[in-house]
Amino acid sequence: MEQVTTQTAAGRPGRSALVRRHRKENVSAWLFGMLSLFPLVLTVVMGLVLAVRARPITEGSTVWELLTGRTWLPLEGQFGYFPFIAGTLWVTTLAMLIAVPPAIFTTIYLAEYANARVREVTKPLVDLLAAIPSVVYGVWGVIVIVPLVGDRLAPWLSSWLGFIPLFDSDNPTGYSVLSGSLVLALMVVPVIIAISYEVIVTVPRGLREAALALGTTRWQAITHAVLPKALPGIAAAVVLAFSRAFGETMAVLMVVGNVARAPSSIFDPAYPLPALIANNYGEMMSIPLYDSALMGAALILLVVVLIFNVISVLALRSAVRRAAA
Amino acid sequence: MTGNRTVFTGKRTGSKRKHLEERFFKGLMLLSCLAVAGGLGAILLTVVVKGLPGLSWELLTQTPKGGFYLGKEGGILNAIAGSLYLALGATALAALIALPIALYLEVYAPGSRRAAVIRLSLDVMWGIPSIVYGAFGFTVMMLVGLRASLLGGILTLTLLELPIMARAMDEVIKMIPMELKESSFALGTTRFEAAVKIMARQALPGIVTGMLLAFGRGIGDAASVLFTAGFTDRMPTSLFRPVASLPLAVFFQLGMPYKEVQERAYASALVLTVIVLGVSLGSRLLARRLARNVVQ
């Protein structure tokens, strides 16, 4: 305080400047604090708004009936989500089955085997490819994947393995679960690689060296020393990728066929939830309850993704902390 | 002695097997790398090879004329301009919220429980599908009586870009050595002065990279602008009018059963890819240049 007054006496910026600085400080602390609550508040508000808008369809039937109902006839007021939920699960699960093994092997290679030069080229490349818009993946799917599935994979696999219902095909086009999964698989590979790479490199160097010093091969060091530590984190990366795939709209919508029936084979068309919303927003105001049904679909997506995300983000954090320890 | 011997022989067969195993899995890993790189390379190759024939000066500099979607004359300038307006607006708005959040996390509430909750909410928000933002944005717009418009699209894209940007900025600000903040406090700065004059300046390269990252994500997203920005063949003129966007231009043209139109869809996809990858590469180079002004 003493100094402040002497400064004023000397004609320098004094007490009023100090007050101004502190006022700025207090206002900024309050404002920044409020702004930082925005993501949390927004997420909650989003859930509430969608729930309120979806409410009208729960008046005719229970939530359980809606989730398991198999008929989707908006004009007759029948809104069964089951075909769409099944479609989403088929496409997403198959995509993960296709994507996870190569993505993890690639990550292990990049983190444990590749030399610095390869790594320096590959890492930015993976990030770059994660930036490609989903509509471009969709274009690629339409040009390459759909004909590949329709003309080659489906006839070939169903003639050899057609006795298994999973590979049976009566769909002459390539617009199918498998096409959607292949496109989606390629989209989530960069996500899995980017996250699980970060986890693997946090495992302390010394663990590998200790294993190698005992005479193990590199692969043995990886499976016995590195992976046990990194596994929770890799699992979280996979769950995060699953939830990313779960909500992906455009790329899947363009190649999956969009037929409102639960698929029973990987060559059947499917109609995932995001595609349902995107395809029908135009008519939704002209048919009663249709808008609430679509907002209900958005709510289902939101709830599922929120649950998966919260679990995987928390798991990832503790996994990284433990891997580094 | 016998025990020793068994161990010895066991070791030898084990050694053979373990090296076989090593080679097997190394081969598998190389194969995976090839598959991943091949798949991603195939996308770029397809977009370039299919897109180049349809690419023309006309496509980039004209708006759709009558019969454009039947294969007649015109271009996608409306969509290019619309996408730039949408993404620029959203990036600017998102930065206004993201930077204070990132500064708050590191300067005002570092290591606190509150910061952990905010980070969690950002990470979770990052994972919310863009179609959900689109549906939510559309609902709110109807409540306040706003039609599909540039403004609606910008606001919805802001929500999509915010978590990406805030987390990217947070990561770089976190990297700043603690001493820098502490020495500025020791000189008597307030937290606000430390945040704005020291931390934000030091993290500038990362802040710019984060903004460009979010811009790239925003300009490529279709599902969120589908309901909220609409589509039009005209150039964007007003915040309250519908606006075209590149991803939707690709999508709509691809849906037409005419070869010329589909070819233009491929060309539009190429334009979009070039913009996005250009921004991504540009942000890396820019970050390196800006990094020269950073105190090491």
For residue A7, the model assigns a pLDDT of: 46
For residue A71, the model assigns a pLDDT of: 82
What is the distance between the alpha carbons of residues B50 and B261, in angstroms, rounded to a whole number? Answer: 13
Q: Residue B79 in 3-state DSSP? A: helix
For residue A206, the model assigns a pLDDT of: 87
∠ CA(B15), CA(B21), CA(B26), 5° rounding? 130
What is the distance between the alpha carbons of residues A218 and B250, in angstroms, rounded to a whole number? Answer: 47
What is the distance between the alpha carbons of residues A245 and A90, in angstroms, rounded to a whole number? Answer: 11
Of B47, B159, B284, the CB nearest to A136: B47
A134 confidence band (pLDDT: 50, 70, 90): very high
For residue A8, the model assigns a pLDDT of: 45
Identify the CA nearest to B263 among candidates B100, B101, B49, B92: B49
Listing DSSP states for A233-272 in one string gives HHHHHHHHHHHHHHH--HHHHHHSB--SS--SSTTS-B--
**Torsion angle in degrees (nearest 10) through CA of A4, A5, A9, A11:** 30
For residue B293, the model assigns a pLDDT of: 62
Q: Residue B145 in 3-state DSSP? A: coil
For residue B294, the model assigns a pLDDT of: 67
Q: Are B157 and B221 in contact (CB under 8 A)?
A: yes
What is the distance between the alpha carbons of residues A254 and A246, in angstroms, rounded to a whole number? Answer: 15
Q: Nearest CA to CA, how far is B1 from chain A (Å)?
A: 22
What is the tens place of the pLDDT at every residue in A67-89?
888 888 887 778 889 999 999 99
Q: Are A306 and A243 in contact (CB under 8 A)?
A: no
Closest residue in B to A110 (Cα–Cα): B33
Q: Are B32 and A189 in contact (CB under 8 A)?
A: no
Is this model's pTM higher than 0.90 or not? no
What is the tens place of the pLDDT at every residue in A17-26?
888 888 888 8
Judge: B36–A189 Cβ closer than 8 Å, yes or no.
yes
Q: Are B166 and B102 in contact (CB under 8 A)?
A: yes
| Angle of helix A116-130 versus helix B2-51 axis, rounded to 10 | 50
Whether residue B287 is predicted with pLDDT greater than 80 in this model: the reply is no
Q: Are B122 and B163 in contact (CB under 8 A)?
A: yes
Instruction: Report chain B's mean pLDDT, rounded to a whole number.
Output: 86
Whether residue B13 is predicted with pLDDT greater than 70 in this model: the reply is no
Q: Nearest CA to CA, how far is A150 from chain B (Å)?
A: 18
Judge: B127–A129 Cβ closer than 8 Å, yes or no.
no
Of A39, A132, A144, the CB nearest to B163: A39
∠ CA(A236), CA(A238), CA(A240), 5° rounding? 70
What is the tens place of the pLDDT at every residue in A174-224?
899 999 999 999 999 998 998 899 888 888 888 888 998 988 888 888 988
Judge: A298–B132 Cβ closer than 8 Å, yes or no.
yes
Instruction: Report chain A's mean pLDDT, rounded to a whole number.
Output: 86
